[in-house]
Structure 1
């Protein structure tokens, strides 16, 4: 049985995510084995470490930013050497603190990769404020592996651009999203890091 969006609310940020890879269609998330053959075509891997892996957020992208009805294919992945950390600034839409990616030697986390079409990437560009809040780059730090152990080489990823989307430093150290919930993160005080420590040509 597919999961309804209601099982994965988007608030508080970054939202709730399915425990496996999934295909999102019409407010429902299907395990790949119950969906059938995955959609093919021209798709690129885009690492999602914040709210873009939440099904309710995907539905919001469809309703508010024109993401089309085609399936969104989301692979669960394990990253090594990078981490989602809280940003120095806040989202204008709701005042929540977003995540940004930073180098984190030895750290292992669970994230997701969209196998995104060019049209889907265009919508993500708008959502992420490409060229203003974020830049889109190839990730050459750490490692990204799918559930079956396949390495995804140099996936695309949205990285913070400008002081508000640099990692927040508290006591001189970034704060991992895995360690501190949004309710606490919103009240943190610190300063923007000089950079994210990532290699991204």
Structure 2
């Protein structure tokens, strides 16, 4: 059984921050607890290896999985400490997934805090891990503000390319994702190709971005 830790124990920096192995929830007290596939529960998932996720959510006065929408979290929003820093309403449910023919790539600009963020791009043949945040409207409203959706920084849209598969083997059809649309949130290109977040670290990405020097820093 994976350990139970404070969400704040996961470092936010360097971007995109630390994330637990596998699937997890953050409970209303700010504890990050493991979630595992569990065929013996009605939801198919269990918190702490025993309690059905839906029963656990109901016990905390929250909507069950069927009342939530899947959102691919591939950058800082997959870090439990960042979830808290965003002011996200708790509890939060994040199910581990594998992205295929799709990947997180570094952006051409920076945030106000000086971090080089990431976005999603079609990448045939590529495979990486992420989480699917099972979100309720109040959580999406917070993320809309964090991601600058209403001022054209990121757009929230269903994925039309690649596949997203949960750790129980279920494929998620057309999950939502925040994708960069402003020039400084579009992919950082080197020799015409996007730079994978999993291929170089944040410091290297920042150096490549400064060397490219073609897109001004954004907010």
The verdict on a shared fold, with TM-score over 0.5 as the criterion, is yes
Structure with the greater alpha carbon radius of gyration: 2
Unaligned runs of 5+ in 2: 36-45, 58-63
Deviates more, 1:182-191 or 1:35-44: 35-44
The residue number in structure 2 matching 1:97 is 116
TM-score by length of 2: 0.81
Unaligned runs of 5+ in 1: 193-201
The residue number in structure 1 matching 2:10 is 8
Q: Which has the higher contact order (CA 8 A, sep 6+)?
A: 1
Secondary structure of the structure 2 residue equivalent to 1:105: strand
The aligned runs of 1:65-104 (5 Å cut-off) are 67-68=88-89, 70-92=90-112, 94-104=113-123
Root-mean-square deviation (Å): 1.4
Tell me if 1:126 matches 2:162: no
The aligned runs of 1:1-201 (5 Å cut-off) are 1-25=3-27, 26-32=29-35, 33=46, 34=48, 36-38=51-53, 39=57, 40=64, 42-62=67-87, 67-68=88-89, 70-92=90-112, 94-131=113-150, 132-188=152-208, 189-190=211-212, 191=214
- Aligned-residue offset at 1:2: 1.2
Q: Name segments (4+ residues, structure 1) moved above 4 Å.
A: none
TM-score by length of 1: 0.88
